[in-house]
Amino acid sequence: MTKNNIVLIGMPGCGKSTIGVVLAKVLGYRFLDADLLIQEQEGRRLSQIIEEEGIQGFDRIENRVNASIQAERTVIATGGSVVYGREAMEHLGAIGTILYIKLPYGEIQKRLGDLNERGITIKDGQTLLDLYRERVPLYEKYAHLTVETDGLELRDSVKRIKELLLENQFI
């Protein structure tokens, strides 16, 4: 397994899947949405898994599925909570370049609708701001590269990411 994948991490709503599809086309890579892979392997929607297994159960499933991804020349869009799984993050870092798509809290808040509908793991009594503050240090810890996309159109975000990958000789 070579390290020729691009792994996108970041808060829900930061555009991992949207950017990932376009980035894969621009690079001539495959695209893999880890959340859809979890749903496919589990035979249930993310929100159902969270409802039936609880947050810890979902985190275990997410960690297992992401730690088993086998891919070549693929842009992998992960779920926002993937950073809670040490095995998953070590595996993803071993098979690819981890790119943190960074957006300020206010923009994340604007983009997200119903958190439960989206299958976002948020503990009882925890706010979106609490979640943001909890996860940002994890995204920063695991990222090989960080790209700020605030105020950028989709095509400009993809262009900036491609330039960053080229500059750092990851592609």
Quote the number of domains for the chain: 1
Helices 16-27 and 154-167: crossing angle, nearest 10°? 60
CA separation for the pair 96, 150 (Å, rounded): 24
CATH number for 112? 3.40.50.300
Residue 52's domain spans which residues? 5-165
Q: What is the pLDDT along the chain (171 residues), one digit of tens a residue?
A: 568 999 999 999 999 999 999 999 999 999 999 999 999 999 999 989 999 999 999 999 999 999 999 999 999 999 999 999 999 999 999 999 999 999 999 999 888 866 655 667 888 888 889 999 999 999 999 999 999 999 999 999 999 999 999 998 888
Has residue 171 been placed in a domain? no
For the entire predicted model, the pTM comes to: 0.94
Q: Between the CA of residue 167 and those of 21, 53, 139, 160, 170, what are the distances in Å?
A: 21, 43, 21, 10, 8
Has residue 27 been placed in a domain? yes
Has residue 170 been placed in a domain? no
